[in-house]
Amino acid sequence: MARPVSQSAPGFPLHHHDISVQNLFVDDDLNITCVIDWAFASTGPPAQLLATPGLPHPRDLVLDSSLVSAFRFGFETENREIGGYVIEPDLWMVGQMVSRFMRLVNLDALQDYNHLEALCALVWEPRTPGEGADDTNSLPALLAARATSHDAIILAGALADDDEAESEIRRREQEYFGAVGAERLALAQKVAIAAKMNPRFVADKRLWRWIDAVTEYYDSEI
User: Which residues 6+ apart lie within 8 Å of 112 measured at CB?
Assistant: 104
pLDDT value of residue 127: 58
CA distance 1 to 23: 16
pTM for the structure as a whole: 0.66
Sorted by where each begins, the domain ranges of the chain are 14-123, 133-221
Cross-strand pairs, 14? 43
pLDDT in tens, the chain (222 residues): 434 455 556 678 888 888 888 899 999 998 889 999 999 889 888 888 888 888 888 888 888 889 899 989 988 888 888 777 778 888 888 888 888 888 888 887 777 888 888 888 888 766 555 555 556 678 888 888 888 899 999 999 999 999 999 999 999 999 999 998 888 888 889 899 988 888 788 888 888 888 888 888 877 776
pLDDT given for residue 1 in this prediction: 43
Predicted confidence at residue 215, as pLDDT, reads 83
pLDDT of residue 6: 54
